[in-house]
Amino acid sequence: MFRAPLMLWKLSPYFLIICYVNCKSNFVQMKIVDEVSNYGWNAMSGPDSSTSNLKAKVEPGAFCGPKHLKVLQGKCFTLLQEDYKYKFCPFFNVTQHERSMRWNPYSGILGIWKDWHVVNDSLSSMNFENGDDCGDDSRQVKVFLKCGMANNVTNVEEPRRCRYQLTFDTPLVCHSDSMLIYPIINSTLQFQWNQIAQDLHDNYITQKGYKKLTHMLFAKAGLVTGKLLNADKEKRPETFQTLDTCNAEYAKLYETLNSKSVQ
């Protein structure tokens, strides 16, 4: 029996009534759909209907950092910017929700809380990684905490494809020492750090060695994970592909040394 849809009524963001008319009689069937609408006006102004459907790749990391930031845990802060709604949940995740009239507006996870980025022995930004797939990679977010009068997400940028930067204003970081690492680690790690700093002062280790050792110390404190990325990695000396090339270069060097000795 053929039934053609007659009309749709939207009672609320959560209910739709779908009416069908029976072509062989005057009987009308009604079906109530208990589901959030993700299209039209509801996508623009309604709740984030797809938030509960977002699937994270990994569990967020445990809380770490200054104790005074723990008051942010369990809370979320939003920003409406252009066609998107961004939601920042400290120490949990960052999500993006498209505010569009399209039938399938995008909602996804931009990043899941991982650890801190350290600069000059201070906590510089929060790392949120393992977001939704973006080609062969995953989306990532760096969250920068700035001094402000209230807790607010003030800006979101995408300087590179699927690499986001979120700015969060908060009075919790207005003190000049609020993001220092030394005061928040235990006494054992403080003692080890003192020894590392003394070795650097006495020239027993280089600045490069200091960065490597302190990174390992920060990892013990649970503030960072993974290996230290060495941007100043030394280039390997050029190698010779054949014996003839090696002999030719040796001959040039020998001739240069002889000419200098004659002078």
Q: β-strands 3-12, 15-22: how paired?
A: antiparallel
Hey, what amino acid is at 246? C
Q: Which of 105-119, 147-161, 240-254 has the lowest mean pLDDT?
A: 240-254
Closest by CA position to 90, among listed 21, 141, 18, 15:
141
Least confident of 41-55, 86-100, 188-202: 41-55
Mean predicted lDDT score pLDDT of the chain: 81
Which CATH architecture is the domain 43-173 placed in? Distorted Sandwich (2.70)
Distance (Å, whole) CA 65 – CA 116:
8
The torsion angles phi and psi of 149, rounded to 5 degrees, stand at -75, -25
Inform me whether the pLDDT recorded for 157 exceeds 80.
Answer: yes
pLDDT computed for residue 43 by the predictor: 47
Angle between helices 207-220 and 187-201 (to 10 degrees): 180
> Region 68-80: what's the mean pLDDT?
97
